[in-house]
Every structure is written in structure tokens, then in C-alpha cells.
């Protein structure tokens, strides 16, 4: 892939250096920054098509872990395009979705079941009996049994070959909200306030967002043989920084990916904006001090050591305090 030209038009934000390269010392999980959304979607679709072809040839089936939300929509569109062009066959693909709101009628327009059929399954040749989505219509007294059956079905399918993940602003993967343990399994959870607030628009108001959900656990997710976490947009930048550069902690379930041998985080430039290699690259390696980068560094330094209001902003950032001599 060619290095992007990150120069900006006059009057726009100061230019940043290309972000595909650079030292990654602070990143604790493999992280790829892809400036163009089309490239990101094609790259992920390529990877999925490869895994589907490889696993169906090798053992007659491929097991995918799938996510909902706005992030994977472009990837699903690209997969549909590939299918229509004869580039991928879903007839031996088995799918397991990460989560579903609870309670949720499966035919509700808000259900993740409906989302998956509308945005992917209706348009490819997946067999309905190979599709698994937690059932938000299960009576409460049968939930524990349903969750255990979901885990068994994943194991009986031979485990997940490739798991797609988004990340919530609470740091959740699936609906594993802050406090989820690394050993957690498919279960009923209470949704975080941040998550319900974020989902408010989809439900015509936060009050209509279900308070609970069924989700695969962190341990269920980490058993996938390959994992791709995808995040786009500046609203994800802060939580992505915690997940990629922060300590592994139940406070940010996505940070558990740091312990996985084959997990990759795919970001657009906006979601990568708080990573050290993008935000403060001079902390990692010598940089070419263009006037624009110098200006960025001076503002950053002022934020580190400046006025009380800037101190307040600093306390919400995990960037380390650095003396002028470091720059």
C-alpha cells in the first residue's frame, strides 16, 4: 500500500506526517492505520474471503464471528459485492453473532437478527441453519441454558476461525462492558450508561434502549483463531488509545486483545488520532520538525505543563508528562 499524503489544504488543521509507518513502541497489539475507508473495507473483505476459502477447502466449513453496529456495514457491503461477482461462497460458512439486546423480539426492527439478515445474510448464500444469533426473545428462566447452548454450538462447530469486532465507547467488545472478566462466557449483562446513551438514536431515545443484552464473553471471543477489531471515527480515538496502548484491564474489555496471539486492530486516521505514533510521534523517534509539526508540539507541550484549564484537559489524557528537553 502506498503511503498516504497527509498534507492538508491551506487553512485546514496542521499537516501531520504519514501515519502508516512510524515507531509503534507504545502499541501492545498489532495496529494498522488505513486512511481510506474503501481500502479498509476491501482489506477486511479480502481477509474474510481468504479465510472462507482456506477453511472450507481444509475442513469443509468456515466459522465466522460477526459483529453489528455501523462499523462493519461497509465490509458486509463489500462481501455481498464479492459474492455477486462469484468471488466467495457462503454455502459452507457457519456464523455466530456476538450479541443481542435483551429483551428483544427477533423480528423487531431494532434486533441484531434483523440487522444481520438485512445487511448480509439475505444477499449471500449462507444457509439459515448455519446462522446463530443470541435469541433476545428467550424467556428469562431459560436464558442460562440458552447461553450454555450457544457456547456448545461454537465448540461443536470447531471454534471460530475469524472474529470481527467493533468497539463501543465504553471499551466493550460484543457487549462486554467495563468489569467483564477475561474468563467470562456467553451470558446476560447489564448495559453501561455510555452504551445506552450511544444507542439512543437507534431507539428514538435512550429510555427505549433495553437495559440488558446477551453477549458472547471475553473468553469466548478470545478463543477465536484470528480477530480483527475495527474502529473508525474520532469518537472512538480515546477508547482505542486505551485499548491499544493502555494496561490490560477489565475496565476496557478490548484491552484483553493484547493477550491474543493473532489479533489486529484496524483503524482509520480519526480513530487512531490519540495513538502516540500519530499524536506525539516525537516521543518515539526523531522527527522532521516542519513548522506545522512544531506548532502541534508546542500546543501539546503547553497542554502538558500549562494553565489550569489545560491541566484539566491533561488529566483526562493518558499521554505522559514530558519536559521540554524531550522535545
**Residue ranges binding ligand GLP (CB under 6 A):** 67-71, 98-99, 166-168, 174-175, 195
User: Closer to ligand GLP at the Cβ: 33 or 98?
Assistant: 98
Query: Least separation, in Å, of the C-beta of 97 and ligand GLP?
Result: 9
From start to end of 118-232, where are the E strands? 131-132, 162-165, 187-190, 212-215, 226-231
> How many C-beta neighbours within 10 Å does residue 272 have?
28
Burial label for 183, CB within 10 Å (0-12, 13-18, 19+), is exposed
Query: Least separation, in Å, of the C-beta of 205 and ligand GLP?
Result: 17
User: Closer to ligand GLP at the Cβ: 19 or 66?
Assistant: 66
Calpha distance 33→21 (Å, rounded)? 9
User: Closer to ligand GLP at the Cβ: 98 or 131?
Assistant: 98
Strands 93-97 and 131-132: parallel
Q: Say what angle helices 73-84 and 37-59 make with each other, to 10 degrees.
A: 60
Query: Collapsing DSSP states into helix, strand and coil, what is residue 55?
Result: helix
Query: Least separation, in Å, of the C-beta of 151 and ligand GLP?
Result: 18
Query: Least separation, in Å, of the C-beta of 166 and ligand GLP?
Result: 2
The partner residues of 206 in beta bridges, in order of sequence, read none
User: Closer to ligand GLP at the Cβ: 98 or 275?
Assistant: 98
User: Closer to ligand GLP at the Cβ: 56 or 97?
Assistant: 97
Cell of 53: 476459502
Query: Least separation, in Å, of the C-beta of 216 and ligand GLP?
Result: 10
Amino acid at each position: 500500500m502506498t503511503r498516504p499524503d497527509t498534507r492538508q489544504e491551506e487553512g485546514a488543521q496542521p499537516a501531520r506526517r504519514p501515519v502508516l509507518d512510524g515507531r509503534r513502541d507504545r502499541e501492545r497489539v498489532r495496529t494498522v492505520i488505513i486512511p481510506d475507508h474503501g481500502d479498509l473495507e476491501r482489506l477486511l473483505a479480502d481477509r474474510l474471503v481468504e479465510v472462507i476459502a482456506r477453511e472450507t477447502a481444509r475442513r469443509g466449513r468456515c466459522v465466522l464471528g460477526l459483529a453489528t453496529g455501523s462499523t462493519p456495514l461497509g465490509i458486509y457491503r463489500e462481501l455481498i459485492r464479492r459474492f455477486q461477482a462469484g468471488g466467495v461462497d457462503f454455502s459452507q460458512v457457519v456464523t455466530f453473532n456476538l450479541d443481542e439486546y435483551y429483551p428483544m423480539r427477533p423480528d423487531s426492527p431494532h434486533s441484531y437478527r434483523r440487522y444481520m439478515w438485512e445487511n448480509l445474510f439475505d444477499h449471500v448464500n449462507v444457509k439459515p441453519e448455519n446462522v446463530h444469533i443470541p435469541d433476545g426473545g428467550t424467556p428469562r428462566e431459560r436464558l442460562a441454558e440458552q447461553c450454555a447452548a450457544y457456547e456448545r454450538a461454537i465448540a461443536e462447530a470447531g471454534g471460530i476461525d475469524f472474529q470481527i469486532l467493533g468497539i463501543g465507547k465504553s471499551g466493550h467488545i460484543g457487549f462486554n462492558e467495563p468489569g467483564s472478566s477475561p474468563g467470562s462466557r456467553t451470558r446476560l449483562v447489564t448495559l453501561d450508561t455510555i452504551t445506552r446513551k450511544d444507542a439512543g438514536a437507534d431507539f428514538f431515545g435512550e429510555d427505549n434502549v433495553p437495559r440488558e443484552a446477551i453477549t458472547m464473553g471475553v473468553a469466548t471471543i478470545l478463543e477465536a483463531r484470528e480477530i480483527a477489531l475495527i474502529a473508525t471515527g474520532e469518537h472512538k480515538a480515546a477508547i482505542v488509545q486505551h485499548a491499544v496502548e493502555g494496561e490490560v484491564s477489565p475496565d476496557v474489555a478490548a484491552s484483553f486483545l493484547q493477550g491474543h496471539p493473532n489479533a489486529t486492530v484496524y483503524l482509520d486516521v480519526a480513530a487512531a488520532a490519540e495513538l502516540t505514533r500519530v499524536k506525539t510521534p516525537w516521543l518515539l523517534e526523531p522527527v522532521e520538525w516542519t513548522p506545522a509539526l512544531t506548532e502541534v508540539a508546542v500546543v501539546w507541550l503547553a497542554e502538558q505543563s500549562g494553565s489550569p484549564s489545560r491541566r484539566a484537559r491533561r488529566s483526562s489524557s493518558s499521554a505522559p508528562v514530558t519536559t521540554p528537553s524531550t522535545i
